[in-house]
Amino acid sequence: MAPKKLGLKQRYAHMTRGLDWETTYQPMDEVFPYDSFEGIKIKDWSAWEDPFRLTMDAYWKFQGEKERKLYAVLDAFAQNNGQTGISDARYANVLKLFLTGVSPLEYQAHRGFAFTGRHLRGVGPRVACQMQSLDELRHVQTQIHTISHYNKYFDGIAEFRHMHDRVWYLSVPKSFFDDARSAGPFEYMIAIGFAFEYVLTNLLFVPFMSGAAYNGDMSTVTFGFSAQSDESRHMTLGIEVIKFLLEQHPDNLPIVQKWVDKWFWRGHRVLGLVAMMMDYMLPKPVMSWKEAWEIYFTEAGGSLFTDLARYGLKVPKYAEVATAEAEHISHQNWATFYQYSHAAAFHTWMPDKAHLDWLSEKYPNTFDKYYRPRWEMWAEMEKQGKRFYNNALPQLCQVCQIPMVYTEKDDPSKISFRCSEVNGETYHTCSDGCKDIFDGEPEKYAQSWLPVHQIFQGNCGGATIPDVLNYYRMNVGADNMDYVGSPDEKLWNEWHAGKVRDAV
């Protein structure tokens, strides 16, 4: 009997896993030296399921087509000076934070997935990781190309690469990714592939990019949604990874659960920057952070963890704390940048009355009680010519590296202080979530390059604020301080005045 023709799935299997072989001239453990030490047990790599059966020819075709479309939009945006059509120049500050804080993470993801794309023993996940490595390179490069046009007109963008390695608040996203990159390949997959891509990136891209569209930034929404179409492939890889690990061996469950708990919390902390963008930085807000959290974590994450419960996996530890914090973090973060505006590479501003009313409406439980008075006090001080600045450096959390601004779950008037002792030295953390992470791997987090401590040690250009800002390559008076009175504002008003003048 003649052999049967291959179905689509078998054909794809030949195109990928059929390529791989067990090495015999070199031991497999030396060819793959890094995928054993984490304690993960894999009995059968061939049980890996490939949900997207994408061969390279199809990859090139779809990705090439997406890129042609995207760059056509970018070219049109630049030719038509689309930057003059955004809702308000304040909006550009979202892009500053994005390029300095998020885009370098895409680069890290590119190199990280090249690592797992080489060093996981199973060929199925390796091919998926390599495609994701390519995709992540796409994301950082398209983001640079999109925001490059804004850089020609707005301050605070030009030194994004230099700043990412140095500026105090950028150590938050940087350390997040350094953490994943320095972990083993399986933890990296759970950290980035599952916790970040599957559980949390929707919160970054979907409501935020919708915000870009609503604020007239067609170039950013185009790269954002275009990138997100790769993201759905990545999400699928992320969920496949977790299911695969949990199906392979029951001993994997506690290890995976620990990673899920850790990376959910790490991701939640980093996303606080996005919370602030959505609630305060979009001149025309689309959705509050709390609403986005409900849709993309409570609802979507709820379905996901219900599904994973059959493997014994639980909802991440402290998920309920994170949900409770959705009432607070955007306000606490924006207040932090407001008082350190002199040391930030984007502009801050006092929310106007209409915006405060919007926040009161979106946060009926907390805003009027805790945060509105804070803005009103500072507004009063501004009026008296005493714009409020914090002139000392803040205490940082040893793990998430955010200033220790977060409050106790049951008392928003009290900062949540936690600490641990290791070898006679104290390490401060901002929450039970961060403390658990520290206590789990103290040798790792005691290495943190904490910007405030580095400044005091003399490793950031000098002892004074101007020395440090110089080390950051911050263009003082242009990149930093309030939007009101900035060169960005002046330029925007000139464009706008031109429009008004010509219209008359």
Both tokens of residue 286? 């689309």
The Cβ of residue 188 has, within 10 Å, a number of other Cβ atoms equal to 26
CB nearer another protein, residue 41 or residue 369? 369
Is 432 one of the binding residues for another protein (CB under 8 A)?
no
> Would you count residue 347 as binding another protein (CB under 8 A)?
no
Instruction: From 413, 399, 427, select the one nearest 366 (Cα to Cα).
Output: 413
Quote the tokens at residue 362: 């979106």
Q: Indicate whether 87 belongs to the interface with another protein (CB under 8 A).
A: no
Of these, 173, 193, 207, 267, which contacts another protein (CB under 8 A)? 207
Go through 79-110 and write b for each residue having 16 or more CB atoms within 10 A of its CB, e for each that does not: eeebbeebeebbbbbbbbbbbbbbbbbbbbbb
Binding residues for another protein restricted to 228-247, rule: CB under 8 A: 228-229, 231-233, 235-236, 239
Residue 45 sits in the site that holds another protein (CB under 8 A): no
Which range, of 273-281, 343-351, 356-364, 492-500, touches another protein by CB under 8 A? 492-500
Nearer to another protein, 229 or 466 (CB): 229
Site for another protein in 94-153 (CB under 8 A): 104, 107-108, 110-112, 114-115, 117-119, 127, 130-131, 133-134, 137-138, 140-142, 144-145, 148, 151-153
Q: Please provide the DSSP assignment of 138-203 as one string.
A: HHHHHHHHHHHHHHTTSSS-TTHHHHHTT-GGGHHHHHHHHHHHHS-HHHHIIIIIIIIIIIIHHH
Task: Give the C-alpha separation, 468 to 455, whole Å.
Answer: 7
Q: Which residues pair with 418 in a beta bridge?
A: 429
In the complex, minimum distance from the CB of residue 25 to another protein, in angstroms, rounded to a whole number: 4
Which residues between 444 and 473 bind another protein (CB under 8 A)?
444-450, 452-454, 456-458, 473
CA–chain centroid gap for 29, Å, is: 34
Minimum distance from CB of 410 to another protein (Å)? 14
* Closer of 31 and 47 to another protein (Cβ): 31
Residue closer to another protein by CB (options 206, 322) is 206
Residue 93 lies near another protein (rule: CB under 8 A): no
Radius of gyration of the chain (CA): 24
Cβ of residue 318: shortest distance to another protein, in angstroms?
A: 17
Burial class (CB in 10 A: 0-12, 13-18, 19+), 323: middle
**314 near another protein, rule: CB under 8 A:** no
Does residue 482 bind another protein (CB under 8 A)? no
Considering the rule CB under 8 A, would residue 156 count as an interface residue with another protein?
no
Q: Is the dihedral of CA 150, 151, 154, 157 positive or negative?
A: positive
* Residues 246-265 within binding reach of another protein (CB under 8 A): none
Cβ atoms 120, 32 nearer than 8 A: yes
| By the rule CB under 8 A, 364 interacts with another protein | no
In terms of CB distance, is 44 or 65 closer to another protein? 65
Distance (Å, whole) CA 47 – CA 493: 61
Does 79 engage in binding with another protein (CB under 8 A)?
no
